[in-house]
Amino acid sequence: MLATHIDKEAFMTASNSRPEAARAQARHPEGESTAAQGEEEAQAPRQHVLPPLPYSVNALEPVISAKTLTFHYEKHHKGYVDKLNTLLAGSSLADLSLEELILHTAGKPQNAEIFNNAAQAWNHTFYWHCLTPQVAGDVPPALGRKLRESFGDVAGFKREFAQAAVSQFGSGWAWLVADGPALRVIKTPNGDDPLPQHLRPLLTLDVWEHAYYLDYQNRRADYVQAVLDRLINWEFAAANLGE
C-alpha cells in the first residue's frame, strides 16, 4: 500500500518550524529514518534505513530491467543511506529525520555532503513509489483536473515533464510539484529536491545516468518517454495532492 506511512514525530517537529515543507513531506512513503521504537530503545541514536522496494526487481521490465533496478536500489540508494549514517555518527544532527536534515543543511556548503546523501536517500524512496507495474487506466479526477488547469491536458504535462527531464544538464531530477493551487514542472541538479523551496512534490523521475544507462545507454529521452507512457503511478501522485 502506498503513501500511508507518515513519520508523525518528524512531521510534527517540522510542522512547528516549516509548515510548507512539512506539508511537502507528509506523503513521503516509508522513506523515513526510523526513530527508535519502544521505551528501551528511546535513547538510541536514529539510524536511517533503506526502505523495501514496493515491487520486485523485475516488476518494471521491460521499461526498467531487473539489472538496472538491482544496481540502482542495492548499490546507489543503499549507498546514500549508508554514507549518511556514517556522516552523522556522533554529529549534532544525528537525531534529525531525513526531511529535517534536508531543510537544515540546504544551502550550507559546510553541510553539503550530509545534504546530498540525505536528499538522495529521500528522493530515491519517493521515486520508487512514483513508478508502478500496474498503471491505472485513467488519471484520478482531482489530479486530472489540476493537470488540465496547469498544462492544458495530460499530454501537455507529459511534454513539459519530458522536456525538463531531458534538458537537465548532467545528473538530477524532474519533478511535478504543487506550488500553492497550481502545478508546476521543475528540474533539480544532482541531489537537490523541491523541499527547500517549500514546494510539494507529487511525482519525480531520476535522470542520473545510473537510472537508465544499462538499458538505454545515452538515450535518456527514450527512458523518459517509456516511463511516462508505461510506469507512472498516478494514484501516488494524486495522493500527494493531499486533497
Residue 140 burial by Cβ neighbours in a 10 Å radius (0-12, 13-18, 19+): middle
CB 98 within 8 A of CB 122: yes
**In sequence order, what E strands does 121-189 have?**
172-179, 182-189
Piece of 81-89, 153-161, 192-200, 211-219 that binds Fe ion (CB under 5 A): 211-219
Q: Determine which residue in the list 206, 216, 228, 240 makes contact with Fe ion, applying CB under 5 A.
A: 206
Q: Determine which residue in the list 80, 208, 216, 234 makes contact with Fe ion, applying CB under 5 A.
A: 208
Q: For the CB of residue 107, give the shortest distance to Fe ion in the complex, in Å.
A: 22
Piece of 24-32, 84-92, 171-179, 198-206 that binds Fe ion (CB under 5 A): 198-206
Cβ-Cβ contacts under 8 Å for 17 (sequence gap 6 or more): none
**Residue carrying the nine cell digits 521505551:** 39
Residue 215 found at the interface with Fe ion (CB under 5 A): no
Piece of 10-18, 40-48, 136-144, 201-209 that binds Fe ion (CB under 5 A): 201-209
Alpha-carbon distance of 117 to 77, in angstroms, equals 9
Q: For the CB of residue 120, give the shortest distance to Fe ion in the complex, in Å.
A: 7
Cβ nearer to Fe ion, comparing 192 with 206: 206
Cβ nearer to Fe ion, comparing 64 with 211: 211
Residue 14 to residues 32, 117, 161, 179, 188: CA-CA distances in angstroms? 13, 19, 29, 19, 22
Cβ nearer to Fe ion, comparing 32 with 206: 206
Q: Which helix (H) or strand (E) holds 9?
A: helix 8-17
Cβ nearer to Fe ion, comparing 80 with 151: 80
Cβ nearer to Fe ion, comparing 69 with 162: 69
Binding residues for Fe ion, per CB under 5 A? Answer: 206, 208, 211
